[in-house]
Structure formats: C-alpha cells, structure tokens
C-alpha cells in the first residue's frame, strides 16, 4: 500500500499537465481546421471574381476592336485596289481617328489582295512590305469566313508583342479585295492584370490562345515558357473542348500548386485564366495561426509549467528511494563482475605460469625422445612413439588451458571439418551428461576454414555448457556444419561456412538476446556463470574474419550460428606431410637458455642437426660474449623469459641495433607472447617445439633452402 498510494497524486498531476496542453491544442486545432476550410472557400471566390473581371475586360477590348473593324470594312468594301491606293492619305487620317483614345491598339493596317499594304496608322506613305506570308492573310485569301485571331507574336516593324485581329473585305465584283487588320498590345492586358492582382497575394492572371501560346501573364516569372506545357491541366481541358472550368492543379509555368480557373472569351480562340498559389495561401494562413499561437502560448505554458513543477517535486521525493535501491543493485552487480574478472585473471596468471614450466618439461621430453629414437632398437620404437604422442596430447591440453584463461595466442590452421569436428563428441559428451542426446553432422561438401582449432573446441564446449544449463530435464544438443549459401552475413560476401549449435532448452528472453555476446552479461544466478562463454564465441568468430549470430525462442530452444570465411586454395598432399629434418645444418649456434634441463636437451639435439653449440644462461652474458667475438656465430637461439636485467626480447632488440645481420630465433613457453614477438619482426617458436620445427626455423634464419 505504501508504494501504491503516492502514485495517485502523481497520476492526478500528470493528468493536469496533459490537460493544460491538450485542451488548448484541441481548440487551436479546431480553429485551424475552420480557418483552413474558410481560406479555401475564400480562395475560390477570389479566383472566380478575378476571372470574371479579366473576362469582362478582354471581352470589351475585343468588341471595341470588332466595332472599329466593322466600320472600316464599310469604308473599303466594293472599291478597286486603285481607288483605295489613290485615297491613301484620307485612309491614313481615318485610321488615326479610330486609334484615338484606344491605348490597346498598336496599329491598324489595310492590306490589298496582292499582299502589299494600302494604308496604315503607323506612317504615310506606306512602305513596300509583303504580308502574303502572314497566317491571317492566307486564311482570308483562301475564302474562310469570319475573323482571324492570331497567336501572340512579335511585330517585325516595332519588336512589340501583339495580337492580330483581322477581317476580309471584297472588291467590286465580290472577289477577295484585301484584309483589315487591327493589332492589339499584349502589354495593355499585362498592365490591367498587374492592377487587378496588386492586392491579391498569390493570384496570377493570364491571357492565352487555344493552342497554348501565352499572350501575356502577370505576375511575370523569370525564364517562364511562352506557352502552356503539354502537361498543363488547363491546356488538356481546353483541347478537350471545355470553355470554362475551375479545379486544382500544378501550373506548367512555375510548377506551383494552384487553384486554377479559365474561360473562353466569346467565340474567339482566346482564353482568360486565373490561378491562386495555394502555398502562399497556406503561408498566409500559417502566419495567422502562428500569431494566434504566440498570443496563447505564454498563459498555457505557465499553467503547464506549474503542473510540471508540482509533478516533479512529488516524483523526486518518490524516486529517491528507488534510485537508492537501483544504485545498490548496480554496485552489487559491478562488484560481482569484478570478482569474476579477478578470479579469471588469477586463473590466467596461474595457468600461464604453470603452462610455461610444463612446456619446458615437455620440450625436455620431446627433444630427448627424438635423440633416443636414433639409438633405440626397433622394439623400443613403439614406446618412443607413445611418448611422442603423449607429448603432442599434453601440448594440445596446454593450449586448451591457455585458451580458457584467454592467454593463448590464436594459431589459425586449415581445418577440414569433415575430419576434425566429429572428435568434439569426446570433449563435449562428458560435460552434457546422459540425459542430453549429442549429435554431430558435417555435410560432405563442407569447405575448410582457417581457425584456431583449440579455440574452436573451447567455443563449442562453452555452447555445450550453456545448452546443458538450459536443459535441466534433458533434451537434444546438435552440432552441424555445412556451406552457407543463403542468408550469408554481409561481412562475408556471397559464401561462408556455417557451424550451427542448437539445443531444445528453455530459450532466451528477447530483451536479453541482444546482450548475450557482451562480456560479463549472464542470465544465470551469481556464482553459476561468468558471462564470458558467449563472449569467447563471438571473439573467436570476429578474429577469424567471421560473424556469430544467435536465434532463440522461449520454450523452444536456441541456435548459435558461427559463420566463417572458407579457406582459400586447396591443401596439397605435400602440405600434409611434415617437411623432412635437415640433419646437417652445419651452423654455429649461440644458445641462450637459463633452464639447465632444457639446455641439456637442446644441445645434443642441435649437435644431432650438425650444429656446434655455445651455451650461455643469461641474456646480459650473451650480449657481452658477442661483443668480444671476432667471428660471430651463424645464428642466436634464445629463450624469452630469463632472470637478469635483460630478457630474450631485450637481447633481440639490442642485437638488431648492434648487429643487424646476425640471425635470431626466439623460443617461449608463454603462448601469449607469440603474437607480440612476431609483430616485432622476430622468428619465434613455441615451447615445446619438435625437432622438425626447430630444424626448419634455423634453416630459414640462416638462409638454407631445402
């Protein structure tokens, strides 16, 4: 009850804070929606009103031009070409009279049937021009009736954009007598449209021909096309025969989202169009709503802030105890993880030290067995073979112990899983117990991989231990290997080798699944798991260039997928056969080894390989001895860990500076030193090493080819 009761005021304060924002926002949203729909209605009215005004204006201009043209036709019809040319001066005066107080007219022309001008309002006498190439002249000459309204064009005489309205007149016998043409300024309409939209932000008005050619438009748009584009929604409707429409569409002139409207002017192929830029409309609406929001923001924010302060103070008081409990639990987990890490570190140090001494002992056994093999008769060879096999097994055991303590340098080798993987049954079976069925299967065509076999065995052992703990009542644990051709991780490209370990255990919760590869993360109780098993599996795959994935379903089981890149090339038969020992190296060797037993086994082995040996037990002594020699040995073979101020690595670095041409080979029983020494560029051998490995290393160092 003590934890539930304080939550009630928190819920009340939280609700108050929510309502202090929700109610104003709902009112604001409702008002915004109302203004949005209202602005749309207003935009439609503005577009319609502007279209009506522009339509009336265009109609009046064209009717005025028609009336003037009809009176001129009465003056020239029925007269011969000669009579008309004789009255050029009176016709010129008449044309000037018709243009008076008509700023929309650019010029008036009376053109004869031969295409030459008879009279014009622009100058007297008329110039020798030919209008036969004009579309309107050919239209009337061919006998087509009615007036001709041209698309917009630029005058050849003045360079101004104009609109031609022309009509035919007949001669005395009714034949084609010529054309009366009135040219209107496109700019006249432009000025009118500029005045029309001056107080209408976002509004545009244009006058265009039925083929899409634009006479004029306002406002002007930089680099705008002079005609409606083929994708223009207005032009599409015009070509479909519509004379009036209002709709929403994208302008082909400026690409703006507009409310569009157009109407045909009388029977002319001329249309007036208007459009409202909806983005500008929305911008204006946004400014209005932003102002409203700014005015109401302060009081509502003050109310919300007051509720939040009260909520935070109450919450802080309730959370103090929870934070204390959380911090205590976090510290406990950190201390548990630290203790586990310290245990592992201590185990690693102990294992590393024991392995070093054990490796020295194995080296003594291995070298003496090799020497005995040369002198023991055939009946004793079987026992010596058993000793050597035991040395190999002990060496592998040491590597597995070091791998468990994370002190084993990885030694990748080309592993043929068909041959090696079935052997893990002997390693994992005893760990699983009799209640869990273990199976191992490898596809016959599985490609080899480059991996540290001891580390892979440890990874599979860790997975087996996890599977055992997930199946306390028994179950199945299977290990399989095959070529992965589908769902290959991107890191590996198109192909990979998949080793899959699957159990039928309790599974892992989805919340914990993403963390299982993290070091020290475990779902087991404290003291029953270190949280490093799956971390070792992940590290193995990563260092081998592969990827580790885990899939689990609660109540069904868990699958761990280890993807490795396939090993390149093929392993030849010769590569599987150990290189023969060079029994006559014929080299002088300086052996630096502090362990008398190891030295006692190495010296006769080196002599058996045809070497003369000088042995010193300290690196400092070896450095001084070399400095006093006139003739240097052919190669220096030195241990790494030795007492004194200078160890084997220090000796190697000093000799690299002082005698860079002197070959060096180092040996160590600490497996974790192999990678760091090799990274310095020195030849390094693990202890124990066989006579074959030692012979090959000395041959490489001294330049002997087999």
Same domain? For 446 and 473 the reply is yes
Same domain? For 126 and 166 the reply is yes
User: 3-class DSSP state for residue 519?
Assistant: coil
**Where in the sequence is the domain holding 18, given as residue range(s)?**
1-332
Torsion (CA) 283, 284, 287, 293 in degrees, nearest 10:
-100
Please provide the average confidence, as pLDDT, over all residues in the chain.
Answer: 81
Element containing residue 409 per DSSP (H, E):
none
DSSP state, residue 525: P
Of 332, 364, 398, the position where a domain reaches its end is 332
Tell whether 388 is covered by a domain.
no
Same domain? For 551 and 589 the reply is no
Give tens-digit pLDDT for 257-289: 888 899 999 888 999 999 888 777 777 777 777
CA distance 346 to 342: 6
Percentage helix, strand, coil, to 5, in the chain? 50, 20, 30
CATH number at residue 563: 3.30.565.10
Give tens-digit pLDDT for 33-53: 777 777 777 888 888 998 999
State the pLDDT confidence band at 443, using cuts at 50, 70 and 90. very high
Could you give the number of structural domains in the chain? 3
Same domain? For 698 and 607 the reply is yes
Per-position b or e across 203-216, b if 16+ CB within 10 A of its CB = bbbbbbbbebebbb
pLDDT at residue number 527: 46
Tell whether 303 is covered by a domain.
yes
Cis preceding-peptide flag for 219 (omega within 30 of 0): yes
The answer to whether residue 182 scores a pLDDT higher than 90 is yes
- Does residue 173 or residue 200 have the better pLDDT? 173
Give tens-digit pLDDT for 633-680: 999 999 988 888 899 899 999 999 988 889 999 988 765 676 678 778
Residue 401, token pair as written in the block: 């112990």
pLDDT at residue number 522: 64
CATH number at residue 115: 3.30.450.20
Residue 633, token pair as written in the block: 């040995």
CA distance 180 to 120: 10
CA distance 155 to 195: 26
Tell whether 381 is covered by a domain.
no
Give tens-digit pLDDT for 584-618: 788 899 999 988 888 888 888 888 888 999 999 89
Same domain? For 468 and 600 the reply is no
Same domain? For 550 and 586 the reply is no
User: Which of 399-403, 548-552, 686-690 has the lowest average pLDDT?
Assistant: 399-403
Tell whether 43 is covered by a domain.
yes
Same domain? For 498 and 533 the reply is yes
Tell whether 247 is covered by a domain.
yes
- Does residue 114 or residue 352 have the better pLDDT? 114
State the pLDDT confidence band at 572, using cuts at 50, 70 and 90. very low
Tell whether 61 is covered by a domain.
yes
Of 549, 570, 591, the position where a domain reaches its end is 570
pLDDT at residue number 410: 56
The answer to whether residue 461 scores a pLDDT higher than 80 is yes
pLDDT at residue number 578: 42
Same domain? For 590 and 554 the reply is no
The answer to whether residue 456 scores a pLDDT higher than 80 is yes
Element containing residue 435 per DSSP (H, E):
none
Average pLDDT over residues 523-546: 69
Give the distance from CA 650 to its chain's centroid. 48
Q: Are 210 and 234 in contact (CB under 8 A)?
A: no
pLDDT at residue number 697: 87
The answer to whether residue 489 scores a pLDDT higher than 90 is no
The answer to whether residue 496 scores a pLDDT higher than 50 is yes
Of 570, 596, 613, the position where a domain reaches its end is 570
CA distance 74 to 52: 33
Same domain? For 627 and 541 the reply is no
End-to-end CA distance of the chain: 86
Residue 28, token pair as written in the block: 């604001």
Same domain? For 528 and 611 the reply is no
Cβ atoms within 10 Å of 193's Cβ, excluding its own: 25
User: Which of 8-17, 217-226, 529-538, 693-702 has the lowest average pLDDT?
Assistant: 529-538
Cis preceding-peptide flag for 114 (omega within 30 of 0): no
CA atoms within 13 A on the CB side of 160: 15
Tell whether 343 is covered by a domain.
no
Give tens-digit pLDDT for 112-130: 999 999 999 888 888 888 8
Average pLDDT over residues 566-591: 63
What lies within 8 Å, CB to CB, of 496 at 6+ separation is 483, 484, 488, 489, 546, 563, 564, 565, 566
The answer to whether residue 404 scores a pLDDT higher than 60 is no
Q: What radius of gyration do the chain's Cα atoms show?
A: 51
What lies within 8 Å, CB to CB, of 501 at 6+ separation is 460, 463, 464, 467, 477, 478, 479, 559, 560, 562
CA distance 97 to 86: 19
Per-position b or e across 410-442, b if 16+ CB within 10 A of its CB = beeebbebeebbeebeeebeeebeeebebebeb
Note the helical H segments in 102-171: 135-141
State the pLDDT confidence band at 152, using cuts at 50, 70 and 90. confident
List Cα–Cα distances, 354 to 348, 350, 398, 399, in angstroms: 10, 6, 9, 12
Residue 437, token pair as written in the block: 């069925």
209 φ/ψ sector (left φ>0, alpha ψ -120 to 50, else beta) = beta
Tell whether 393 is covered by a domain.
no
Same domain? For 554 and 596 the reply is no
Element containing residue 52 per DSSP (H, E):
helix 7-76
Same domain? For 22 and 1 the reply is yes
């Amino acid at each position: 009850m003590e934890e539930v009761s304080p939550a009630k005021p928190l819920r009340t304060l939280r609700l108050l804070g929510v309502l202090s924002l929700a109610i104003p926002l709902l009112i604001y949203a409702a008002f915004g929606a109302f203004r949005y729909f209202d602005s749309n209605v207003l935009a439609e009215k503005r577009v319609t009103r502007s279209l009506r005004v522009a339509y009336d204006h265009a109609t009046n201009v064209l009717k005025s031009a028609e009336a003037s043209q009809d009176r001129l036709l009465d003056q020239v019809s029925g007269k011969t070409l000669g009579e008309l040319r004789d009255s050029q001066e009176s016709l010129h005066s008449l044309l000037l009279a018709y243009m008076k107080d008509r700023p929309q007219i650019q010029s008036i022309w009376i053109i004869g049937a031969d295409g030459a001008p008879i009279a014009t309002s622009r100058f007297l006498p008329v110039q020798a021009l030919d209008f036969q190439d004009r579309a309107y002249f050919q239209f009337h000459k061919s006998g087509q009736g009615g007036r001709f309204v041209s698309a917009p064009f630029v005058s050849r005489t003045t360079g101004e954009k104009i609109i031609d309205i022309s009509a035919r007149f007949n001669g005395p016998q009714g034949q084609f007598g010529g054309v009366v043409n009135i040219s209107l300024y496109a700019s006249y309409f432009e000025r009118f449209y500029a005045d029309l939209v001056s107080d209408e932000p976002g509004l545009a008005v244009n006058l265009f021909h039925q083929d899409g050619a634009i006479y004029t438009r306002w406002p002007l748009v930089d680099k705008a096309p002079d005609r409606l584009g083929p994708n223009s929604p207005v032009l599409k409707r015009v070509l479909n025969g519509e004379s009036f429409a209002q709709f929403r569409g994208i302008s082909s002139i400026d690409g703006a989202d507009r409310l569009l409207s157009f109407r045909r002017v009388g029977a002319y192929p001329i249309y007036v169009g208007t459009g409202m830029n909806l983005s500008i409309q929305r911008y204006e609406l946004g400014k209005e709503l932003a102002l409203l929001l700014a005015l109401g923001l302060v009081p509502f924010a003050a109310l919300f802030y007051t509720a939040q302060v009260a909520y935070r103070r109450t919450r802080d008081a309730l959370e103090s105890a929870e934070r204390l409990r959380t911090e205590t639990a976090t510290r406990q987990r950190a201390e548990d993880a630290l203790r586990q890490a310290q245990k592992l570190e201590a185990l690693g140090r102990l294992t590393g030290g024991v392995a070093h001494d054990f490796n020295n002992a194995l080296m003594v056994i291995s070298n003496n067995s090799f020497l005995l093999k040369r002198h023991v008769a055939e009946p004793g060879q079987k026992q010596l073979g058993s000793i050597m096999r035991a040395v190999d097994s002990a060496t592998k055991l040491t590597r597995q112990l070091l791998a468990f303590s994370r002190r084993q340098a990885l030694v990748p080798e080309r592993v043929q899983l068909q041959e090696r993987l079935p052997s893990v049954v002997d390693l994992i079976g005893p760990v699983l117990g009799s209640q869990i069925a273990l199976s191992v299967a490898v596809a016959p065509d599985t490609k080899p991989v480059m991996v540290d076999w001891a580390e892979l065995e440890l990874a599979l052992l860790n997975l087996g231990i996890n599977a055992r703990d997930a199946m306390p009542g028994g179950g199945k644990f299977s290990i399989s290997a095959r070529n992965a051709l589908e769902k290959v991780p991107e890191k590996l490209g198109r192909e990979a080798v998949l080793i899959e370990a699957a159990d039928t255990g309790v599974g892992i919760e989805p919340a914990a699944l993403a963390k299982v590869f993290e070091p020290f993360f475990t779902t087991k109780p404290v003291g029953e798991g270190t949280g490093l098993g799956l971390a070792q599996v992940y590290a193995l795959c990563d260092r081998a260039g592969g990827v580790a994935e885990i899939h689990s379903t609660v109540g069904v089981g868990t699958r761990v997928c280890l993807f490795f890149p396939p090993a390149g090339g093929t392993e030849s038969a010769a590569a599987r056969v150990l290189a023969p020992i060079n029994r006559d190296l014929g080299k002088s060797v300086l052996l630096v080894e502090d362990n008398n037993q190891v030295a006692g086994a190495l010296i006769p082995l080196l002599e058996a390989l045809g070497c003369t040996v000088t042995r010193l037990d300290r690196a400092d002594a070896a450095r001084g001895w070399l400095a006093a020699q006139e003739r240097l040995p052919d190669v220096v073979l030195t241990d790494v860990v030795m007492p004194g101020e200078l160890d084997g690595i220090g000796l190697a670095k000093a000799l690299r500076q002082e005698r860079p041409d002197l070959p060096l080979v180092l040996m160590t029983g600490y497996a974790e030193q192999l990678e760091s020494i090799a990274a310095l560029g020195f030849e390094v051998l693990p202890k124990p090493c066989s006579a074959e490995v030692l012979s090959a290393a000395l041959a490489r160092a001294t330049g002997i080819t087999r």
